[in-house]
Amino acid sequence: MFTRIVKMEFKEAEIPAFLANFELIKDKIRSFPGCCFLELYRDKNVPEIFFTYSKWEDEKDLENYRNSALFNEVWATTKIKFRSKAQAWSVDTLHKLN
């Protein structure tokens, strides 16, 4: 299992539309095969910056999602709202404390 972190910076006027769309599609993303966890974060100091934090069973599952009709639909409606290009990282957990 690994974590995918995506940083997105939106045009201020596009934030309400992004949040409304996320509300509609979040369960579809979360229920995609291999997706085990999904959260959306907003930066405390720069409110135009958001992060998605998702956990995937393996890299093939993420690739299947990124090649799916669902991703194409989500990305097409999301990327036009960006102020700057999104950044993404796939990371492994080294230590976890509860």
Give the residue from 57, 50, 37 showing the smallest Cα distance to 84: 50
The average pLDDT across 45-72 equals: 98
Query: What's the topology of domain 2-91?
Result: Alpha-Beta Plaits (3.30.70)
Q: Whole-structure pTM over 0.85, yes or no?
A: yes
Give pLDDT tens digits for 29-49: 999 999 999 999 999 999 999
- C-alpha separations of 50 from 58, 69, 84, 87, 96 in Å: 24, 23, 12, 11, 23
Write down the domain spans for the chain: 2-91
Query: In which band, very low, low, confident or very high, does the pLDDT at 7 lie, cut at 50, 70 and 90?
Result: very high
DSSP sequence for 1-63: -EEEEEEEEE-GGGHHHHHHHHHHHHHHHHTSTTEEEEEEEE-SS-TTEEEEEEEES-HHHHH
Give the chain's mean pLDDT.
Answer: 98
